[in-house]
Amino acid sequence: MPTRKLEKVVSLKEIKVACQACSLNEICLPVGMGETDLDRLDSIIDRKRPLARNDHLFRIGDPFQCLYAVRSGSLKTYATSEDGQEQVMGFHLPGELVGLDAIADGRHPLAAKALETTSLCEIPFADLEALSRQLPSLQHQLLRVMSQEIRADEQNMVTLGQKSAEERLASFLISLSSRFRRRGFSENQFNLSMSRSDIGNYLGLALETVSRLFTRFQNEGLLRVDRKHIELLDRARLCMFSSAKCSSSEEPRILRPNASS
Amino acid sequence: MPTRKLEKVVSLKEIKVACQACSLNEICLPVGMGETDLDRLDSIIDRKRPLARNDHLFRIGDPFQCLYAVRSGSLKTYATSEDGQEQVMGFHLPGELVGLDAIADGRHPLAAKALETTSLCEIPFADLEALSRQLPSLQHQLLRVMSQEIRADEQNMVTLGQKSAEERLASFLISLSSRFRRRGFSENQFNLSMSRSDIGNYLGLALETVSRLFTRFQNEGLLRVDRKHIELLDRARLCMFSSAKCSSSEEPRILRPNASS
DNA sequence: CGATGACTTGACTGCTGTCAACGTGCGTGG
DNA sequence: CCACGCACGTTGACAGCAGTCAAGTCATCG
């Protein structure tokens, strides 16, 4: 129930919108928290100016101070091997936490880079840890989010370990589609913020293979693709191709009254 | 269930060894905890009779009640796709926690099966959560362990995503070797508790490929292999093959005075 | 001692990576 | 407004790594 009473201070006000009013609070860290608890969480969170495309949020080896929640836009995280080539480890959409892998030893093992203009919530980890001691629902949600991350990584292992190129790309698109739906966006039509090269790298494929598969999927009537824009025409059949169980309505979507157009 | 009436209290006593006396407490959940805190952690932990080879600790979909720490022996965790084939997600050695991916929704997404006779510590999660609210060092260590798990999964993504068969097996052996060393065992000589098929499945390779690579590595003088027994003859060169930075002494090993031979 | 499962080895095939050329859209600057 | 350059994406030709199929060997256990 978003209590929108913004007169006009729009952009500045939007940047400062609290967890309480954030449209993402049903899928972000605040899940399951009461109103007063939410205010306390909100009080430790900082909201900075958005990142521009290609800006780094942090680099490999940076000391770990904060977790970040994506508010809008998207990020990729990646590692670089000694010979300089990168391995894309994940793409992060609004409502997702970034930096959880840095808790282990206080340094970021991956770099995070904005794929487009991206705004974030900055959550000082020490404060979060202290606060979660007092708020069981926050503690629980933090553990749940980390557990989900582990699970997602396990899914990726299946994808990389025993799926064909075709299945990998299909899985990737279905997964993206589901994540968009969950956030209240269209599940059948969206824009890829990452390049073919990033997708290929993430899926363990050559970028040429990704390109060829997009063409093939299009020829087979599964989807329409135009540059970054993707339109899924036959989600069900794409699911078959991904050889994974893809429910089309596994979770209720978030209603976003202000996303009229 | 066979209730073997062993007279000697020995084995029973051994099963009940507390965290305080456990040789694994420097790499397990107790890391960084004081003596009195350790006693409180110990009080919520249950130690059951060991699992026999091929016994399941839990199966896919089982309700999540407890985390488990391996005390001795080893486990594999795996998922099964709808067509029944399995994907091995990980191997778990003494001191490692199993079940972290079940916190997210209260059900185990993977099954866990003993690769050999394996004893475990059972940690009721509700109790752990409550206790960690009171013991900051426990809370912190739990988060660290989960973060490490995420990091390990990221490593696996690199392995599966952009390494050749040769590099994957080399990485796997180096990783195992390091984990054994950390636990006070020999880093150059150990027994594989898992089959070639499990290794191949885990690494995204056919078991025949694994077999061929063992033969090749042996012919090249990198190691000696006899059934399950592995002896690393040239760890440094194996590291080169794995195309990863593998320090040979990254972390101090645990001294285990009773492992004299 | 035979049965069974685990492992090894060989022959062949095919998926997907690599190399290379070409097309397309966008931003910059004249 | 157009020309240009550049990054990104597409398409084709070819080759090689690793999967599949199949046969054979070895170890363990009843």
Nearest to B87 among A101, A149, A162 (CB): A162
pLDDT score of A193 more than 80: yes
Q: Give me the mean pLDDT over the A242-261 stretch.
A: 54
pLDDT at A253: 53
Nearest nucleotide over every DNA/RNA strand to the A225 CA, judged by C1': D9
Residue among A160, A172, A202 with most chain B CBs within 10 A, to mutate: A160
Protein contacts on strand D: list nucleotides below 7 Å from a Cβ: 8-13, 17-22, 27-28
pLDDT digits (tens, 9 = 90+) for A204-231: 999 999 999 999 999 999 999 998 999 9
d(CA A235, CA A227) in angstroms, rounded, equals 19
Reported confidence tier of residue A261, pLDDT bands at 50, 70, 90: very low
Interval B202-207 mean pLDDT:
96
Domain covering A2-152 assigned CATH 2.60.120.10 in the classification: yes
Place B2 in a pLDDT band, splitting at 50, 70 and 90: very low
Closest CA relative to residue B160, chosen from A146, A99, A153: A153
Contact state of B140 with A154 under an 8 Å Cβ cutoff: no
B225 CA – C6 C1', rounded, Å: 15
Q: What is the C-alpha to C-alpha distance for residues A187 and A98, in angstroms, rounded to an integer?
A: 23
Which tokens sit at A170?
A: 């299909």
Predicted confidence (pLDDT) at residue B56 exceeds the cutoff of 80: yes
* Helix (H), strand (E), coil (C) string for B103-171: CCCCECCCEEEECCCEEEEEEEHHHHHHHHHHCHHHHHHHHHHHHHHHHHHHHHHHHHHHCCHHHHHHH
Give the span between the Cα atoms of B182 and B176, in whole angstroms.
10
Mean pLDDT of chain B, nearest integer:
88
B124-140 tens-digit pLDDT:
999 999 999 999 999 99
Contact A123, A68 (CB under 8 A): yes
Q: What is the CA radius of gyration of chain A?
A: 19
Kindly report the average pLDDT of chain A as a whole number. Answer: 88
Please check the confidence at residue B253 and state whether its pLDDT lies above 90: no
Q: What is the mean pLDDT of residues A16-35?
A: 88
Asked if A67 and A51 touch (Cβ cutoff 8 Å), the reply is no
Residues B225, B229, B234, B239: what is their CA dihedral angle, to the nearest 10 degrees? 100
Note the pTM of the prediction, 2 decimals.
0.88
Pair B199, B213: CB distance under 8 Å: no
Has residue B11 got a pLDDT over 60? no
Of A6-20, B27-41, B141-155, where does mean pLDDT reach its minimum?
A6-20
Chain B residues close to A79, C-beta within 8 Å:
154, 158
pLDDT in tens, A56-111: 999 999 999 999 999 999 999 999 987 778 999 999 999 999 999 999 999 999 99
First to last CA, chain A: 20
A-chain residues near B142 (CB < 8 A): 143
Q: pLDDT above 70 covers what percent of chain B?
A: 87
Q: Is the pLDDT of residue B93 over 90?
A: yes
How close A64 comes to chain B (CA, Å)? 12
Calculate mean pLDDT across residues B53-80.
95
B211, closest nucleotide (Cα–C1'): C8
pLDDT tens digits, B237-249: 999 888 766 555 4
Footprint of strand D on the protein (CB under 7 A): A 195-197, 207-208, 210-212, 214-215, 225, 227-228; B 164-166, 204-206, 208-209, 227
- Mean pLDDT over A38-45 rounds to 93
CA distance A129 to B215: 50
Average pLDDT over residues B55-77: 96
The ranges assigned to domains in chain B are 2-152, 163-250
| Res B81 pLDDT > 90 | no
Backbone angles phi, psi at A86, to 5 degrees: -100, 155
Tell me which residue of B236, B212, B209, B208 sits closest to B222, measured CA to CA: B236
* Contact (Cβ atoms closer than 8 angstroms) between residue A137 and residue A19: no
pLDDT at A190 over 50: yes
Sign of CA dihedral B40, B46, B51, B57: negative
Asked if A143 and B129 touch (Cβ cutoff 8 Å), the reply is: yes
DSSP for residue B102: G
* b/e sequence A223-240, b meaning 16+ C-beta within 10 Å: bebeeeebebeebebbbe
Please tell us whether the domain made up of B163-250 is placed in CATH 3.30.210.10.
no
Ranked by mean pLDDT, which of A106-110, A161-165, B223-227, B256-260 comes out on top?
A106-110
Return the pLDDT at B76.
96
